[in-house]
């Protein structure tokens, strides 16, 4: 436990000013982030298993790291435990994706709330965590609509943050909010349209199958009646 606390203190006290990132690297990172966020914003529901698996990968790596440090492991053993836990958790949450979506919803809403509130303050941190937990629970009961809303909003926020960075307008909160709001509405609209089309297609397939089954049963009944009539004659 002491080793874990030491590592956490070192990370907390790390001097990030020593890290040098060029403007080109920042631009590339921002563009990649925008592309990933756009996919999340407009196709979040279709990627539910991927989101669940990625959530499991992250959680597994964290759990593996904590367990390995507590066990006093280091070097390749430490890396092996982290990798093993990450892979197992990713596979399990990819299969049982609703569990993964629960934790994904929680972390996504905490991220969304934290982008508007100062999460460094204890009160706001508690509020963000409470909102995340409430959203995760509600998502389990209203699954698809909430996955659509959360993925669209979190993706839109990420695009807004990175877009203003590319435009050199980091301090312009209004522009960021406008970009976020427009993309969130578009993302929700597009995802609900795709969901409606998918539901409509399933209903059409079911209706076609039902008609085919009914028609077949009618033909069988007609043939049976003809045979009965022949027997009576």
Residue 15 lies in a domain: no
Per residue in 52-98, pLDDT tens?
999 999 999 999 999 888 888 888 888 899 999 999 999 999 999 99
Decide which of 2 and 106 is more confident.
Answer: 106
Residue 105 lies in a domain: yes
Q: Is the pLDDT of residue 1 over 80?
A: no
* Total domains, the chain: 1
Q: Is the pLDDT of residue 161 over 60?
A: yes
pTM for the complete prediction?
A: 0.75
In angstroms, what CA-CA distances link 46 with 42, 64, 88, 99, 144?
9, 29, 22, 16, 10
Per residue in 12-43, pLDDT tens?
454 444 545 566 777 888 889 899 999 999 99
Q: How far apart are alpha carbons 186 and 163 in whole angstroms?
A: 16
Q: Which of 6-10, 104-108, 129-133, 188-192 has the lowest mean pLDDT?
A: 6-10
pLDDT of residue 84: 92
Residue 233 lies in a domain: no
Residue 114 lies in a domain: yes
Residue-wise over 62-72: b if at least 16 C-beta within 10 A, else e? ebbbbebbeee
Give residue 63's domain range.
Answer: 2-9+23-220
Residue 181 lies in a domain: yes
Residue 230 lies in a domain: no
Residue 170 lies in a domain: yes
pLDDT of residue 125: 87
pLDDT of residue 140: 94
Task: Band the pLDDT of 118: cuts 50, 70, 90.
Answer: confident
SS3 label, residue 50: helix
Question: Considering the chain, what is the average pLDDT of its residues?
Answer: 82
Q: How far apart are alpha carbons 80 and 38 in whole angstroms?
A: 33
47's CB contacts (< 8 A; 6+ apart) are 39, 40, 151
Q: What is the mean pLDDT of residues 117-124?
A: 81
Q: How far apart are alpha carbons 163 and 181 in whole angstroms?
A: 13
């Amino acid at each position: 436990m002491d080793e874990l606390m030491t590592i956490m203190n070192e990370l907390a006290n790390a001097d990030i000013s020593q890290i040098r990132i060029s403007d080109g690297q920042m631009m590339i990172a921002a563009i990649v982030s925008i592309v990933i966020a756009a996919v999340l914003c407009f196709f979040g529901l279709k990627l539910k298993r991927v989101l669940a698996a990625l959530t499991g990968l992250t959680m597994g790596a964290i759990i593996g790291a904590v367990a390995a440090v507590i066990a006093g492991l280091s070097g390749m053993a430490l890396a092996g435990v982290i990798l093993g836990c990450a892979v197992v958790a990713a596979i399990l949450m990819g299969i049982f994706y609703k569990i993964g979506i629960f934790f994904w919803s929680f972390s996504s809403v905490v991220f969304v709330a934290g982008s508007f509130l100062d999460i460094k303050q204890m009160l706001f941190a508690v509020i963000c965590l409470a909102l995340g937990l409430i959203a995760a629970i509600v998502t389990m009961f209203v699954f698809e609509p909430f996955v659509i809303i959360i993925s669209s909003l979190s993706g839109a926020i990420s695009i807004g943050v990175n877009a203003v960075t590319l435009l050199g307008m980091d301090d312009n909160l209004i522009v960021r909010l406008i970009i976020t709001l427009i993309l969130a509405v578009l993302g929700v609209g597009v995802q609900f349209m795709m969901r409606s089309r998918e539901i409509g297609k399933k209903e059409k397939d079911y209706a076609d199958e039902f008609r085919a089954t009914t028609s077949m049963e009618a033909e069988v009944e007609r043939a049976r009646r003809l045979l009965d009539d022949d027997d009576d004659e």
